[in-house]
Structure 1
Amino acid sequence: KMRRRSFRFFKFWMKHHVLNVQHKFLLLQAELMSLDRRATVDSVKLKYGEAIHLASRTGFVADSAIANELCGEFLIRKGNDSLAGDYFAEAIRLNEQMGAKARVDQLEEKHSDLL
């Protein structure tokens, strides 16, 4: 029920061309797809990629960092650790760009084996 409400909320804002929610809607779709056993790894990764690209293009660096991190976590769950490392490295780079040192330290500690 809450998922439907969230989707309606995002669709409303997207319909009215509010650019600052489109990447968040794509990220929400990617997260929901990541929980769907029928979704392929490639299709989920593509949806994360769309969210990452749009967040970056519209200047939402923090959201791009979060999307990279979530995609990395998804890829770990699917056993693709080497590719996950690339997403974590990008999340770290973006967090460094924002000056989020504590988050950089957390990510480096948690995923040191993949970096």
Structure 2
Amino acid sequence: MKLESTVTEDIVYVRLQGDLIGSPDSQQLVELVNNSISETKLLCAVDLSQVRFINSSGIGVLVSLLTKFRNRGGEMVLINPSEQIRKLLIITKLNNIFTIKETDQAAAEFLTQS
């Protein structure tokens, strides 16, 4: 999995590419978010548009990240997940927990208003 992070207007944008299936890549993602939170960035947008596959470990990482942000009064959204990931979120009923937006702009608007 490839991981890229940028900060724009106090929003941490995390762009993932490949498969989100646990392993050391997931630990790198969690560390990145922990560092961002410690810098008082409390808004996060995770771009899943280039993620091909996600398993239960990957879902667990996303839930963990969401929990970290919300516990500190922040928020996290998912950007443009694939149809497979959307179905998985529906099956696990996590679509009721995660906010999904189609574009960076829509995510930024939601996050700045939350």
**What is the TM-score with the length of structure 1 in the denominator?**
0.36
Q: Which has the higher helix share?
A: 1
**What is the TM-score with the length of structure 2 in the denominator?**
0.36
Q: Which has the higher strand share?
A: 2
Compare relative contact order (CA 8 Å, sep 6+) and give the higher one, 1 or 2: 2
